[in-house]
Amino acid sequence: MKFSSENREGMTIENVHLARATYNCAEEFKEILNKNITKNNFNFIVNLEECKYMDSTFLGALVSISKKLKELGGSLKIANLHSEALILFEITGMMRIFEVYKNVDEAVANFTNSVEK
């Protein structure tokens, strides 16, 4: 299984079960998230705990979905970013685009706090 979804406190957590997230899986990943969006799920946390590497195509899928969610009033947060992927995020400026959290619980707490404000 490459991806699994769970719902927690009104958010969809998409777990990426790949050590290498590449163009081979980017389109499938986008389709999964788009299906969730059609079910009126607009707040996502992408859990990259198992993902040590991602290529530009997979990163592009994250950007594309994030942009779509912002247009719909939602957002996409990143959790458990490995050091190798963190370097990619820093080099490409993605740290300014995505909210990145140490773990899923921290990302969930941030969603919950921002909804309560």
Q: What is the pTM of this model?
A: 0.92
The C-alpha atoms of residue 30 and residue 74 are separated, in whole angstroms, by: 16
- Cα–Cα–Cα angle for 44, 91, 73, nearest 5°? 25
Q: What is the pLDDT of residues 11-69, one digit of tens each?
A: 999 999 999 999 999 999 999 999 999 999 999 999 999 999 999 999 999 999 999 99
Q: What is the pLDDT of residue 109?
A: 94
Half-sphere exposure of 34 (CA within 13 A, CB side): 9
Domains (range + CATH), the chain? 3-116 (3.30.750.24)
pLDDT score of 113 more than 80 = no
> Model confidence over 80-105: pLDDT tens digits?
999 989 998 999 999 999 999 999 99
What integer pLDDT is reported at residue 117 of this predicted model? 43
Given a contact cutoff of 8 angstroms between Cβ atoms, the answer to whether 85 and 51 are in contact is yes
- State the DSSP code for 13: E
